Structure 1
């Protein structure tokens, strides 16, 4: 998975006036600054999807760990 360290930053006022150009050139995370402080991050769609999938995997692992000591139930495929 790609690292989420922003390589660039943009002032929120620049974002308002140059949104299309900034988004078109953002192939990596970009920090959005207001008063020189990060208030948001622009993340490429592919990286966002990767992050969401990783979060889903983490949640599924949490569920598996919580259920791993529950008693097993025998099931026949024909009964499903």
Structure 2
């Protein structure tokens, strides 16, 4: 029985090709993610530094949103702008 695994990238590269031409693969990854395949199964994804940094910011924003939602509806305190 063969189980098919989804690949979440338009571009793929084998481990062998990655070893042969890492710079070329990195150049492709600057434009869109590259799935690195080992025995025709994705084992890693290569993305640009900009894409990674954006992803980390979005994850942080999602965590902060969870905190805000968890704290909403709680006790409030009125303050005057002048007191700040």
Q: Give the match's secondary structure for 1:57.
A: helix
TM-score relative to the length of structure 1: 0.79
Q: Give the match's secondary structure for 1:32.
A: strand
TM-score relative to the length of structure 2: 0.76
Q: How does 1:16-31 map to 2 (within 5 A)?
A: 16-26=19-29, 27-31=31-35
Q: Which residue of 1 aligns with 2:50?
A: 46
User: How many correspondences in the alignment?
Assistant: 76
Q: Give the match's secondary structure for 1:23.
A: helix
Moved more, 36-45 or 68-77: 68-77
Q: How does 1:30-69 map to 2 (within 5 A)?
A: 30-69=34-73
Is the aligned partner of 1:73 residue 2:84? no
Q: Give the match's secondary structure for 1:72.
A: coil
Q: Give the match's secondary structure for 1:33.
A: strand
Q: Which residue of 1 aligns with 2:10?
A: 7
CA-atom RMSD in angstroms: 1.7
CA distance in 1, matches of 2:79, 2:18: 57
